[in-house]
Amino acid sequence: MTPLQTTLIALVEGLTEFLPVSSTGHMLIVQRALGLASDDALVKAFTVNIQFGAILAVVVLYGRRFVQSRVFYARLLVAFLPAAVFGLAFSALIDRLLESVQVVAVMLILGGVLMLKVDRWFSRVAESQEVDWRRALRIGLFQCVAMVPGVSRSMATIVGGMSAGLTRQNAAEFSFFLAVPTMAAAAGYSLLKVLTEPALAGALASSVKTLLLGNAIAFVVALGAIRFFIGFLTRYGFKVFGYYRIGFGLVLLAWALLRGG
C-alpha cells in the first residue's frame, strides 16, 4: 500500500468508526476506488488493525472512566460476550457478506430510515442512567445486529442503550466504552489469522511503518470525530445521520449495480 492509500483509508476509519454511518461501507468504497481488493488478506489485516488507533482515542478521552471498579468491567464484559459468541459462530458468513456491496448499501439505507425515527421512538429517558446488568446485556445483544455489514456498530449499540432509557449522550459514551474490547478482539483475531500464515506474516512484518502511520492517523482523526459526535448528537439527534446514510446507501447501491458487484 502506498502512503496515499494508507492515509486515505486511515482518515476514513477515524472519521466513521464511532459515527452511526457504517465504517464498513465507507471502507469498502474507498478501497475499491483506490484499486485495492477488499478480499486481500493484507488489506483486511490493515483495515482491521488500524482500529487500534481509534480504540486508543477512546481510552485517551475517557481515561478516568476506565479507572473504575471491577463492576464496570464486569458489565462491559456482559455487553461484549454476545457479539464475541455470535462473531465466532458466524465468522464465515460475515466474511462473505463483507464482499457484497449490495448488502452494505441496503443496510445503510434501512439503518438510515431507522435513524429518522430513533429520536421519537426512544424519547423516554429513565431516571437512573446507570448501565446495570440488564442494560449491558441488552446493548450487547443489539451489537450482534452490527455483525451484518452496513448496520454500524455505533448505531446498533446507541439504539440499544436508548431503548433501555439512556440519554443519547450516555448511550453514545457506553457505545464508545464497548468499542474498546469489541474492536480490540476483532483486530487481535484478524492479526492472529495473518500470523498463522508465514507468507502473510512476513508481508505484514515488512509493513510495520504502514501500520504505524495508519494507526496514528486513525487515532488523531477519531479524537476529533468523537468530540464532534457527542456535541452534535446531544444538540440535534440522529436525523442528519439518517439522511446521510440513505443518500450514501443509494449512491453505493447504484455504483455497485453499474459495476456489476
| pLDDT by 10-residue block (mean), the chain, 261 residues | 89 93 84 76 79 91 80 92 89 78 91 91 82 94 91 93 92 93 84 72 72 93 93 89 94 82 51
For 108-138, give the DSSP string: HHHHHHHHHHHHHHT----S-----HHHHHH
pLDDT at residue 38 in the model: 62
Contacts of 3 (CB under 8 A, 6+ apart): 210, 213
Spell out a b/e string for 216-235, using b for 16 or more CB atoms within 10 Å of the CB, else e.
ebbbebbbebbeebbeebee
pLDDT at residue 226 in the model: 94
pLDDT at residue 200 in the model: 67
Burial of 53: CB neighbours in 10 Å, binned 0-12, 13-18, 19+: buried
* Domain spans, the chain: 3-259
pTM here is 0.88
Contact of 133 with 75, CB cutoff 8 Å: yes
Contacts of 28 (CB under 8 A, 6+ apart): 38, 98, 101, 104, 149, 252
pLDDT at residue 25 in the model: 80
CA-based nearest residue to 243, from 92, 90, 118:
118
pLDDT at residue 100 in the model: 81
Rounded-to-integer distance, Cα 147 and Cα 139, Å: 14
Whole-angstrom CA distances from 19 to 72, 123, 128, 257 are 24, 20, 25, 26
